[in-house]
Amino acid sequence: MEETNYTDGIDKLASNLQSKIDEDEAKVFSETALYEAHHPQNFGVIENPDGKAVLTGSCGDTMEMFVVVEGDRVVEVKFSTDGCGATFACGSMLSKMAKGQKTEQVLALTDEDLIERLDGLPEENLHCARLAVATLHGAVKVT
């Protein structure tokens, strides 16, 4: 009986803590960035990609991008990262922006384009967008 109360207490504490984290995130991140971070698209690895790049940002987080190119078009993009939530949001949105585009259009994408599509990022996460874009460009350049 006592153990159940203890478990209930821990569950409640965890739930309150999660609510607090969600509230804090909602104050600094746009709804779009939060959605992408919590529902990342194209997360994973492509076996035998046409292009792949791995970069580590100044913060120490790593981003990996894989692309499949057919003709002059990027037809498949996947990303992997050990980074922050913003990095997931950036990888997810950027992979969607790049998929189906011509390689030259993908290489023309900038971190400002990505930040705009995410409806903004906090100042301290702007480098996450730079890391994602640089990694994608690196993957496309080796194709």
CA distances in angstroms from 51 to 14, 20, 54, 98, listed in the order given: 41, 40, 11, 13
Q: Judged by CB under 6 A, which of 131, 133, 136, 140 binds ligand FES?
A: 131
Helix (H, G, I), strand (E, B) or coil at 21: helix
Does residue 87 touch ligand FES according to CB under 6 A? Answer: yes
Does residue 61 touch ligand FES according to CB under 6 A? Answer: yes
Sequential DSSP letters for 83-103: S-HHHHHHHHHHHHHHTTSBH
Site residue total, ligand FES (CB under 6 A): 10
CA torsion sign, 37 to 43 to 49 to 55? positive
CB of 129 to ligand FES, least distance (A): 9
CB of 68 to ligand FES, least distance (A): 24
Q: Give the binding site for ligand FES (CB under 6 A).
A: 57, 59, 61, 83-84, 86-87, 125, 128, 131
